[in-house]
Amino acid sequence: MKFFIDTADLDDIREAASWGCLSGVTTNPSLYAKTGGKLADFEAHMVKICEIVGPDVPVSAESTAGTTEGMIEEGRHLASLAPNICVKLPICAESLAATRVLASEGIRVNMTLIFSVPQALLAARAGARYVSPFVGRFDDISESGLDFLSEIVEAINNYDFGWWADEGGVEIISASIRSPFQVTQAALMGADIATVPMAALKKCLEHPLTKRGLELFAADWAKVTAGE
């Protein structure tokens, strides 16, 4: 499984990138708003993220256009800002049509706000490079986000959609992830990617037995070095 970070916060992205195992960044209008950024700075902010992570790490920048033509135009423009920009589009009829055009031009689309298997299949069929099922938001309404994710993994892996063959085809981004448990389950069911906010990413790194083990090693090493 690849780890993406789900944030537009530059410090968090810098920190996660410094770990050496970050494979992507996803942003959305809410995450950008959380940084306090203004419209005029949006593109520069996305470019900055691309510079931090480097040209081989995909960065999803979301289009807020409401029409197919608008999404195509904005998508082309966003993709021109940096080689690693993926255009994030919310699933709808307009975005499917826009995805088809953008994909045929070699522009990667991350189809977001996926809440059903048919939505994911339609996005992949239209040429999306990534589909993003939202796990946590199902849990928020007392439904199992992980059961839903497992259906998406099974359905998507049943087919070859013919797009992005040189990059291994469409990939599933487990989105709206809030805990190491969700990351574990997503990995076990074979989801390609988990996009994880910084706080949950840090929890993925920690374990009480690792902490205890380090304390024991340090205490024992102190005995070895005592009096030297």
The stretch near ligand E4P (CB under 6 A) out of 16-24, 39-47, 131-139, 200-208 is 131-139
Active site residue 2: no
Alpha helical stretches, state H, 66-174? 68-81, 93-104, 117-126, 136-140, 145-157
Q: Between residues 59 and 207, which has the closer beta carbon with respect to ligand E4P?
A: 59
Catalytic residue among 34, 48, 88, 223: 88
Note whether 132 binds ligand E4P by CB under 6 A. Answer: yes
Of 76 and 137, the one with the shorter C-beta distance to ligand E4P is: 137
50 within 8 A of 19, measured Cβ to Cβ: no
- Closest to ligand E4P by CB, 6 or 94: 6
- Of the candidate residues 101, 146, 195, 201, the single one contacting ligand E4P (CB under 6 A): 195
* Residues 160-179 as x/- pattern, contact with ligand E4P by CB under 6 A: ---------------xx---
Task: Assess contact for 2 and 23: CB atoms under 8 A.
Answer: yes
Map tokens 């069911």 to a residue: 189
The only residue of 63, 112, 150, 182 in contact with ligand E4P, by rule CB under 6 A: 112
137 sits near ligand E4P (criterion: CB under 6 A): yes
Rounded distance between C-alpha atoms, residue 5 and residue 221, angstroms: 36
Task: Find the DSSP H helices in 19-90.
Answer: 29-34, 42-53, 68-81
Residues 6+ apart with CB under 8 A from 96: 122, 123, 126
**Contact positions toward ligand E4P, by CB under 6 A?**
6, 26, 28, 31, 112, 132, 134, 136-137, 175-176, 195
Which active-site residues does the annotation give?
88
